Amino acid sequence: MADGETIYLKDYKPFGWIIDDVHLTFRLHPTATRVISRIRFRPDYDVHDRPFFLHGEGLKTISIKVDGHEPKIYEEPGGIEVDVPHAPFNWECEVEINPQDNTALEGLYMSNGMYCTQCEAEGFRKITWYPDRPDVMAQFTVRIESTQEHTPVMLSNGNGLLYHTDLTQDQTPNYTIYQDPWPKPAYLFALVAGDLIAHEDKFTTMSGKEVDLAIWVRPGDEDKCAFGMEALKKSMKWDEDIYGREYDLDEFNIVAVDDFNMGAMENKGLNIFNSSCVLASPETSTDMNFERIEAIIAHEYFHNWTGNRITCRDWFQLCLKEGLTVFRDAQFTADMRSAPVKRIDDVIALRGRQFREDNGPLAHPVRPDSFVEINNFYTATVYEKGAELIGMLKTLVGDDAYTKALDLYFDRHDGDAATIEDWLKVFEDTTGRDLSQFKRWYEQAGTPRLSVKDDFNDGSYTLTFKQQTPPTPGQEMKDPRVIPIAVGLLNPNGDEVQDTTVLEMTEAEQSFTFEGLATKPVPSILRDFSAPVILEQDTDTATNAFLLANDTDPFNRWQAGDNLALETLLAMIRDGAAPSSAYLDALHTLLRDDTQDPAFRALALGLPSQDELAQTLFDQGQTPDPDAIYEALETLKQVRAEAYQDTITRLHAQYQVTAAYAPNAEQSGTRSLANAAMSMLNRLDGGHLAQEQFDHADNMTQQLSALGALISAGNGADAVTRFYEQWQHDRLVIDKWFSAQIIHAAPSDAATIAARLTEHPDFTIKNPNRFRATLGALTMSGAGFHQRSGAGYQLLADNLIALDPLNPQTTARMCTAFESWKRYDTTRQDLIKAQLERILATPDLSRDSTEMLTRILG
Ligand code: ZN
Cα 323 to averaged position of ligand 1 atoms, centre (Å): 8
CB 73 within 8 A of CB 82: yes
Judge whether 850 and 4 are in contact, CB under 8 Å. yes
Query: CATH number for the domain including 114?
Result: 2.60.40.1730
Please say if the pLDDT value at position 789 is more than 90. Answer: yes
CATH number at residue 846: 1.25.50.10
d(CA 227, ligand 1 centre) in Å? 20
DSSP state of 780: T
Q: Which of 145, 266, 300, 322 is catalytic?
A: 300
| pTM of the predicted protein model | 0.98
430 and 520 belong to one structural domain: no
- Give me ligand 1 centre to Cα 578, in Å: 45
Q: Per-residue pLDDT tens for 571-604?
A: 999 999 999 999 999 999 999 999 999 999 999 9
Give the separation between CA 820 and CA 365, rounded to whole angstroms.
18
Percentage of the chain beyond pLDDT 70 is 98
312 CA to middle of ligand 1, Å?
Answer: 12
Mean pLDDT of 496-513: 98
Is residue 321 assigned to a domain? yes
567 Cα–ligand 1 center, Å: 36
Residues 320 and 429 in one domain: yes
pLDDT at residue 595, rounded to an integer: 97
370 C-alpha vs ligand 1 centroid, how far in Å?
Answer: 20
Determine the distance separating the centroid of ligand 1 and the alpha carbon of 319, expressed in angstroms. Answer: 9
Predicted local distance difference test score (pLDDT) of residue 165? 55
- pLDDT (0 to 100) of residue 105: 98
pLDDT per residue over 536-565, tens digit each? 999 999 999 999 999 999 999 999 999 999
Q: How far is the CA of 303 from the centre of ligand 1 (A)?
A: 7
Task: Examine the domain organization and report whether 487 and 352 are in the same domain.
Answer: no
Ligand 1 centre from 687 Cα, in Å?
Answer: 41
Average pLDDT of the residues of the chain:
96
Q: How many Å lie between the centroid of ligand 1 and the Cα of residue 277?
A: 13
In 506-622 the beta strands, taken as DSSP E runs, fall at: 509-514, 522-525, 534-537
Determine the pLDDT at residue 150.
76
Whether 167 shows a pLDDT value over 70: the answer reads no
Parallel, antiparallel, or unpaired: how do β-strands 449-457 and 534-537 relate?
parallel
Ligand 1 mean position to 273 CA, how many Å? Answer: 12
> 626 pLDDT exceeds 80?
yes
pLDDT band (50, 70, 90) for residue 44: very high
> Are residues 12 and 94 part of one domain?
yes
- Cα of 611 to ligand 1 centre, how many Å? 26
Residues 396, 499 within the same domain? no
Q: Is residue 804 part of a domain?
A: yes
Residue type, 562: D
Q: Is 431 domain-assigned?
A: yes
What is the predicted pLDDT for the residue at 47? 87
Place 168 in a pLDDT band, splitting at 50, 70 and 90: low
By residue range, what is the domain housing residue 319?
311-443
Residue 502 pLDDT: 98
Output the CA 298–ligand 1 centroid distance in Å: 10
Q: Over 80: is that where the pLDDT of 231 sits?
A: yes
Q: Please indicate, yes or no, if residue 65 is contained in any of the structural domains.
A: yes
Quote the ligand 1 centre to 124 CA distance (angstroms): 18
What pLDDT score does 146 carry? 86
> Per-residue pLDDT tens for 124-144?
999 999 999 999 999 999 999
Instruction: Give the model confidence (pLDDT) of 277-312 as tens digits.
Output: 999 999 999 999 999 999 999 999 999 999 999 999
> Does 665 have pLDDT greater than 60?
yes
Between the CA of 280 and the centroid of ligand 1 the distance, in Å, is: 21
Q: Distance, CA 218 to ligand 1 centroid (Å)?
A: 24
Pair 24, 167 in one domain: yes
CATH number reported for the structural domain that contains residue 511 in this entry:
2.60.40.1840
Q: Tell me, in angstroms, the distance from the centre of ligand 1 to residue 378's CA.
A: 9
pLDDT in tens, 815-838: 999 999 999 999 999 999 999 999
In the prediction, which pLDDT does 2 show?
A: 43
Over residues 188-193, the mean pLDDT reads 98
CA dihedral 378, 384, 385, 386 (to 10 degrees): 70
Ligand 1 midpoint to CA 305 (Å): 11
Q: Kindly write down the DSSP assignment for every residue of 75-140, as one continuous string.
A: EETTEEEE---SS-EEEEEEEEE-STT-TT--EEEEETTEEEEE-TTTTGGGTSSB--STT--EEE
Same domain for 499 and 357: no
Closest CA to 302 of 280, 277, 335, 327: 327
Q: What is the pLDDT of residue 148?
A: 64
For residue range 687-701, list pLDDT tens digits in order. Answer: 999 999 999 999 999
Provide CB contacts within 8 A for 379, sequence distance 6+.
Answer: 357, 362, 364
CATH number at residue 397: 1.10.390.10
Domain count within the chain: 4
Of 516, 531, 546, the domain-final residue? 531
Rounded Cα gap, residues 520 and 460, in angstroms: 8
Q: Is there a catalytic annotation at residue 300?
A: yes
User: What's the pLDDT at 1?
Assistant: 37
User: Is residue 122 located within the same domain as residue 16?
Assistant: yes
Percentage of the chain exceeding pLDDT 90: 96
Q: Mean pLDDT throughout 392-396? A: 98
Instruction: Tell me the CA–centroid distance for residue 441 and ligand 1, in Å.
Output: 20
Q: Is residue 279 part of a domain?
A: no
The confidence score (pLDDT) of residue 49 equals: 75
| Same domain for 343 and 326 | yes
Q: How far is the CA of 99 from the centre of ligand 1 (A)?
A: 25
Say whether both 732 and 843 belong to one domain: yes
Shared domain check, 853 and 772: yes
Q: How do residues 431-481 score in pLDDT, each as one tens digit? A: 999 999 999 999 999 999 999 999 999 999 999 999 999 999 999 999 999
Q: How far is the CA of 263 from the centre of ligand 1 (A)?
A: 9
Mean pLDDT within 236-249? 98
Residue 591 lies in a domain: no
Is 220 inside any structural domain? Answer: no
- Single residue among 531, 554, 585 that ends a domain in this structure: 531
Q: Rounded CA gap, 559 and 759, in Å?
A: 43
C-alpha span between 541 and 106 (Å, rounded)? 52
3-state secondary structure of 271: strand
| Amino acid, res. 780 | M
Single out the residue in 133, 161, 195 at which a domain terminates: 195
Is 182 inside any structural domain? yes
**DSSP one-letter string for 134-190:** TT--EEEEEEEEESSS---EEEESSEEEEEE--SS-TTSPEEEEEEEEEEE-GGG--
In a shared domain, residues 348 and 453: no
Contacts (Cβ under 8 Å, ≥6 apart) of 204: 210, 211
pLDDT score recorded for residue 475: 98
Please tell me the distance from the alpha carbon of residue 485 to that of residue 546, in angstroms, as a whole number: 21
